[in-house]
């Protein structure tokens, strides 16, 4: 996909990766940008900067996501690319409250489900469309210190795989963004967490990978290319990989 001339929806656009995407897509010549975020005050200046339309949206609520897609279709005529990008982090494990599990599940997974379900009918009717879902390298590997994050990001990757398999022969392209540590508010105070073992990149650098992958219409967007090597090690010898992850966990716990 060439970004130039395309109508694009981005969630989580008030800051971080979403804001960087909005700026980059605007620079690449996108036709219309529809930007969504729960943070309406932060969203408005970003929309102004990129000549976009700001639609305050709570992606943890299905009706809010559906409303976003419908308003975007009405404003743009059609949507070429939906970037379902909003996400949150919840530390801890199985001891977390059910309410915490449900919230991260709704935002990190179900928001992608709802966006795809709302956007697909018109895309399928046109015979073309693109879905870009933000997951994480944690969705391909794991996340030390956060079971909810690891599990929901694995689910997000699995959903993207299913969408690509199910609709790939009907004109729908799907990519999934799987970075390690990125210098965003999520990393603030965590110094990127254990994911920063290979360094923390800026959102603008991440967007280089996004644009290049969309241009080639490949599935995995890997701003940290070494993640592919880690995946290969994981599948080559699962038990050895698990032992290595336990060593990494021990090292991380000693440092923190």
Catalytic residues: 149
Which class for 110: exposed (0-12), middle (13-18), buried (19 or more C-beta within 10 A)?
buried
SS3 state of residue 34: strand
Contact of 72 with 121, CB cutoff 8 Å: no
SS3 state of residue 251: helix
Q: List 177's β-bridge partners, or say none.
A: 134, 221
Ordered strands of the 220-221 beta sheet: 53-56, 32-37, 7-11, 81-84, 129-134, 172-177, 220-221
Determine the Cα–Cα distance for residues 186 and 61; give it in Å rounded to an integer.
Answer: 21
Among left, alpha and beta (phi > 0; psi -120 to 50; other), residue 51 is left
Strands 220-221 and 32-37: unpaired
């Amino acid at each position: 996909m060439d970004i130039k001339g395309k109508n694009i929806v981005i969630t989580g656009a008030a800051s971080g990766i979403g804001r960087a995407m909005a700026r980059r897509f605007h620079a690449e010549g996108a036709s219309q940008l529809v930007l969504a975020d729960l943070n309406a005050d932060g969203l408005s200046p970003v929309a102004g900067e990129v000549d976009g339309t700001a639609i305050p949206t709570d992606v943890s609520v299905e009706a809010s996501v559906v409303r976003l897609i419908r308003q975007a279709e009405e404003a743009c005529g059609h949507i070429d690319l939906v970037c379902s990008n909003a996400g949150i982090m919840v530390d801890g494990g199985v001891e977390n409250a059910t309410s915490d599990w449900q919230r991260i599940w709704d935002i990190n997974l179900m928001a992608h489900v709802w966006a795809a379900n709302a956007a697909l009918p018109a895309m399928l009717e046109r015979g073309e469309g693109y879905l870009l879902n933000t997951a994480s390298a944690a969705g391909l590997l794991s996340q030390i210190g956060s079971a909810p994050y690891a599990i929901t990001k694995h689910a997000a990757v699995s959903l993207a795989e299913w969408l690509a398999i199910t609709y790939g022969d009907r004109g729908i392209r799907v990519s999934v963004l799987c970075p390690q540590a990125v210098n965003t508010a999520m990393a603030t105070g965590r110094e990127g967490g254990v994911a920063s073992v290979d360094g923390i990149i800026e959102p603008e650098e991440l967007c280089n990978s996004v644009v290049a992958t969309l241009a080639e219409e490949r599935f995995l967007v890997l701003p940290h290319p070494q993640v592919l090597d880690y995946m290969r090690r994981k599948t080559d010898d699962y038990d050895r990989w698990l032992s290595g992850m336990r060593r990494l966990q021990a090292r991380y716990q000693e440092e923190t």
